Amino acid sequence: MGLGSLRKVSLADARRKAAECHKLLDDHIDPIEHRTQARAAAALANAKSITFKEASTRLHCDAQQGLEEREACSAMGNDDSNLCRADLGQLLVRDIDVGHVHQVLEPI
């Protein structure tokens, strides 16, 4: 398991990180899996702290990587998902539940 670049991690920090990994191993926890889960949890927490509109915009722009960024985001203006963004746009992703989704889909 890598502990970081020699140029970015001091010897003292590397020893501290190694000691933490050994403690995890003593508790029968895979340090690499533990690190992966911690990163995934942080990414999930970050994703849940944005509004639905921001998440939708990011997803759409990522899906349109072949287009110029301006074209991808202007193409969103013709997208049917604007209906969802209008109703759910200002809600945080973590606050959206089945009831909200049902309200958006019912008129369609």
pLDDT of amino acid 80: 47
In angstroms, rounded to a whole number, what is the distance separating the alpha carbons of residues 11 and 57? 42
pLDDT of amino acid 93: 82
| N-terminal to C-terminal alpha carbon distance within the chain | 51
Count other C-beta atoms under 10 Å from residue 16's C-beta: 13
The share of the chain scoring above pLDDT 70, in percent, equals 76
Nearest C-alpha neighbor of 20 from the set 36, 3, 43, 42: 3
Q: Taking the model in full, what pTM does it have?
A: 0.49
**Mean pLDDT rounded to a whole number for the chain:** 80
In angstroms, rounded to a whole number, what is the distance separating the alpha carbons of residues 2 and 73? 39
**Which pLDDT tens digit goes with each residue over 53-76?**
888 777 777 666 655 554 545 554
pLDDT of amino acid 29: 96
Q: Is 85 exposed, middle or buried (0-12, 13-18, 19+ CB in 10 A)?
A: buried
